[in-house]
Amino acid sequence: MLIAARGISRVYGAEGAQATALKATSFEIAAGEFVAIVGASGSGKSTLMNLLGLLDRPSSGSLFFDGRNCSTLRDDECARLRNQRIGFVFQSYLLLPRLSAWRNVELPLIYAGTPKDERRQRALEAMDRVGLRAKADRSPAQLSGGEQQRVAIARAIIGEPALLLADEPTGALDSVAGRGVLELLNSIHRQGCTIIMVTHDPGVASQAQRVLTMRDGELVGDCPQARMALGPMEMAQ
């Protein structure tokens, strides 16, 4: 089992003025699954994703990643685990504007201490996997939104992570670019990567094998589903 959540919750604020963003929640995600987390704004889906990505810690309960109880890890141990085992893709791309595409992609390897020549080679290979090797030297401003998201995905997978977390990966894209990003995520999943994707869009969620539904900070649904083929209108916003 790659992920096991045992009664994890997240509460913000001091005693007497607390707000519960996530009620006690338990579930498991096996290696190789493609899971969508869905819900309206404020439902707790982003809070849950931050916990699963080790960007935040639960207020109660335990979170296990590949058998390790992450709730007991030090901050530096969590950071090391994130860098080595988890890739992140965000709606806003988060590319550094002064760096070329491939230099954005190599950033996780810099943090990992990878030698310079190896970083460039692996960054170009990752750019090739997302179909953008020919644009490796361009700046983010010279790329379309869909291309920038592909660069962000290349950055997320350069370390061959066990888990890819995608937060509204098509939310800032038009239907054509969004479809391309979903096709790319499907391809990465077929290569064995576990994917957890946060989305409010039912058409995007239809690409997952399983859907976790959040409402008012509570997990209210956990359903397997047959993945739907991408159609021309499914990505309409």
pLDDT digits (tens, 9 = 90+) for 63-73: 999 999 998 99
Q: How many domains does the chain have?
A: 1
Mean pLDDT of 17-25: 94
CB atoms within 10 A of CB 41: 7
Joined together, the tokens standing for residue 197 give: 């994707």
What per-residue confidence (pLDDT) applies to 77? 95
Question: Residue 166 pLDDT more than 90?
Answer: yes
Asked if the structure places residue 231 within a domain, the reply is no
Domain membership flag for residue 234:
no
CB atoms within 10 A of CB 87: 26
Residue 200 and residue 40 in contact, taking contact as beta carbons nearer than 8 Å? yes
Cα–Cα distance for residue pair 148/159, rounded to 1 Å: 19
CATH number at residue 102: 3.40.50.300
Domain membership of residue 127 (yes or no) is yes
**190 occurs within a structural domain:** yes
pLDDT confidence tier of residue 226, bands split at 50, 70 and 90: confident
Q: What is the pLDDT of residue 109?
A: 95
The reply to whether 230 falls in a domain is no
| Residues 64, 70 contacting (CB under 8 angstroms) | yes
Residue 41 has pLDDT above 70, yes or no: yes
User: Per the domain annotation, does 7 fall within a domain?
Assistant: yes
Q: Is the model's pLDDT at 228 over the cut of 90?
A: no
Position with higher pLDDT, 139 vs 15: 139
pLDDT at 236: 37
Percent of the chain whose pLDDT exceeds 90: 87
Given a cut of 50, whether residue 235 has pLDDT beyond it is: no
Instruction: Kindly provide the b/e burial profile for residues 151-172, where b requires at least 16 CB atoms within 10 angstroms of the residue's own CB.
Output: bbbbbbbbbebbbbbbbbbbbb
Domain of residue 89, residue span: 3-224
- pLDDT value at 234 more than 50: no
Residue 30 lies in a domain: yes
Mean residue pLDDT of the chain comes to: 93
Q: Please indicate, yes or no, if residue 229 is contained in any of the structural domains.
A: no
